[in-house]
Amino acid sequence: MNARSHYSYAVYADPVMAERFDRVRFGGPIGTLLLEEQERVLRESLGDVSGRPVIDVGTGTGRAALALARWGAQVTGIDASAQMLVAARSRATAAGLTVRFERQDAHALSFASQVFDHAVSLRLLMHAPDWRRCLEELCRVTRHRVVFDFPALASVAAVQAVTRRATQAAGWQVEAYRVLSLRTIRHEVERHGFRVERVHRQFVLPIALHKLVGSRPFTVTIERALAAAGLLRVAGSPVTVVAERCAS
């Protein structure tokens, strides 16, 4: 199969998807919670980024890129979808932030090796045709730290992933994402001279369920209870990984 025929290119090239992406992903009380948590984890993972060159690969509508720019980073946002980049540029202009947005494919970035201090990539590996190649590129262009996420194999997300793949095989157009294990991720980053320094797990219950309920107090209360019971550590998803380049 030609990579460009993969659903991840077609879905995000759709102007309707680009227009409604933020509303679907970050709308409502749970969407706001997701965005706040995403920014908190990024801030804690990267520390002071003021004046530092940072790349956001698979930037979409630029949510992470804009947060990084607010914190003073010199941000480059990359996405394969021209339509998503239109939305990202519009957001940056409205916020009065400077971000360099470029249309590129995450499988083959045009930048020299280790030209960025840090790299960020959210919701990319789960959809990319060749996630290993994308991770390799993230590591290649980064001097210090890479932050990325993925749905966990040992989580409820794995059941949903199987269902979506079956639905796609039946001819329906769905985002049939993949799930990954932390063990596999550790092996891959080590191959490229990095080591996993930190792991953050977000929810035990599916995000879709939390959005269906639509109550921030419910989500916070039930997830705290599940975390206290030890379930977040073993079955939390999505997983955000912070990987550091090993000293040579």
Q: What is the pLDDT of residue 169?
A: 65
Answer yes or no: are the C-beta atoms of 68 and 42 closer than 8 Å. Answer: yes
Ramachandran region, residue 138 (left: φ > 0; alpha: ψ -120 to 50; beta: rest): alpha
Is it true that the peptide bond before 238 is cis, omega within 30 degrees of 0? yes
> Quick check: 116 and 143 in contact, CB under 8 A?
yes
Integer Cα distance of 28 and 11 in angstroms? 23
Instruction: Answer for the pair 120, 145: CB distance below 8 angstroms, yes or no.
Output: no
Domain 3-150+178-202+240-245: give its CATH superfamily: Vaccinia Virus protein VP39 (3.40.50.150)
- Do residues 151 and 157 touch, judged by C-beta distance below 8 A? yes
Model pTM score? 0.90
State the Cα–Cα distance between residues 223 and 193, nearest whole angstrom: 35
CB atoms within 10 A of CB 133: 15
152: three-class secondary structure by DSSP: strand
Query: What are the boundaries of each domain within the chain?
Result: 3-150+178-202+240-245
Is-contact 31 220, C-beta < 8 A? Answer: no
Dihedral angle sign, alpha carbons of residues 214, 87, 11, 132: negative
- Residue from 178, 174, 173 nearest 135 by CA: 178
Q: Are 106 and 137 in contact (CB under 8 A)?
A: yes
Residue ranges with strand state E in the chain: 53-57, 74-79, 100-103, 116-121, 142-150, 194-203, 237-245
**How high is the pLDDT of residue 1?**
39
Q: What is the pLDDT along the chain (248 residues), one digit of tens a residue?
A: 345 567 667 666 677 667 777 777 788 999 999 999 999 999 999 999 999 999 999 999 999 999 999 999 999 999 999 999 999 999 999 999 999 999 999 999 999 999 999 999 999 999 999 999 999 999 999 999 999 999 999 888 777 766 766 665 666 665 667 899 999 999 999 999 999 999 999 999 988 899 999 999 999 999 999 999 999 999 999 999 999 999 86
Q: How far apart are CA 57 and CA 177, in angstroms?
A: 17
Take residue 54 and report the two structure tokens written for it. 């940072």
Centroid of chain to Cα 72: 21
What does the alpha-carbon distance between residue 120 and residue 57 come to, in Å, rounded to a whole number?
6
Tell me, what's the pLDDT at 2? Answer: 44
